[in-house]
A = this chain, B = another copy of it.
Amino acid sequence: MKLYLAGPEVFLDDAREIGRRKVELCTRFGFIGLYPLDGDPLLDAAAGAASHSIFAANLALMRSADALIANLTPFRGISADPGTAFEVGFAFALGKPVAAYSNLPGELKHRAHSTIGVAGDAEAVPTLLADGLHVEDFGHFDNLMLAEALAASRLPVIQAQAPAADPFRDLTLFEQALSVLAEARSAGRLGTTPSLSHPEPAGQAHGEETFHG
């Protein structure tokens, strides 16, 4: 069973080493890890061709994967890396179960409050921020589209209790996510696709209603 390993750690200087460790952990749980190629230094030569190749390679890896594990640790701001968010949406649309972890605890709302600040009357409208836009108030770790896609996959985000010292290299929660996926596999719940997330492609099994209210 193949897992696509999405996350901004591809931007680390030692991205290939982290990828190697992630794939090794996958093996330990009986999975095949597919690590995106963004960090491949060989591709840096011709920027245009590299960008195009990385994109095509990542799409192909996602299509070949049975599920996706996303590192949704906030990246350069209060929310997840937009490339990873794109990949969660892409994989989810194809009916792949999506698991995720975040090495930062807490709600999006609280991060938004402390980073951006609340607008004028915090008592009356606690969701209106100083930038003139609201923040979601659903108790989610990040944007609801991400949180609900995970819930629909019956794999809610695994979040740190305290901020990780090295949030893009710490694989403790990645390992927990693998363990959860291994349990789901044992229970026969991994092969099925969430009913809300498939265009019923021919030849692909799809499962029962997984979107619980």
Q: Which A residues have a C-beta under 8 Å from some C-beta of B?
A: 8, 11-13, 15, 38, 44, 47-52, 54-56, 58-59, 63, 76-83, 85-94, 112, 115-116, 128, 131-140, 142-149, 151-152, 168, 196-197, 199-202, 204, 211, 213
Contact = CB atoms under 8 A, between A and B. Distances in A.
Give the top 9 A-B pairs by smallest Cβ distance, nearest first: A77-B77, A89-B89, A93-B93, A55-B148, A86-B89, A89-B90, A83-B143, A82-B85, A85-B85
Given A86-B85, A112-B76, A133 B54 contact: no
26 contacts: A8-B133, A11-B133, A11-B135, A13-B132, A13-B134, A38-B136, A38-B144, A51-B136, A51-B140, A51-B148, A56-B196, A58-B145, A76-B77, A76-B112, A77-B78, A79-B81, A81-B82, A81-B143, A82-B146, A86-B88, A89-B92, A90-B93, A91-B93, A199-B199, A201-B202, A202-B202
B76 A76 contact: no
B202 A52 contact: no
A56 B86 CA distance: 18
Given A86-B88, A146-B82, A199-B201, A133 B12 contact: yes
B85 A83 contact: yes
Given A47-B138, A116-B76, A132-B13, A55 B87 contact: no
Chain A, interface SS category: helix
Contact of A201 (B11, B142, B200): B200
Given A82-B146, A86-B92, A92-B93, 18 more contacts: A12-B134, A38-B144, A48-B138, A51-B140, A55-B144, A76-B78, A76-B131, A79-B82, A80-B82, A81-B82, A82-B143, A83-B145, A85-B89, A86-B143, A87-B145, A90-B90, A93-B94, A200-B201
Contacts of A135: 11
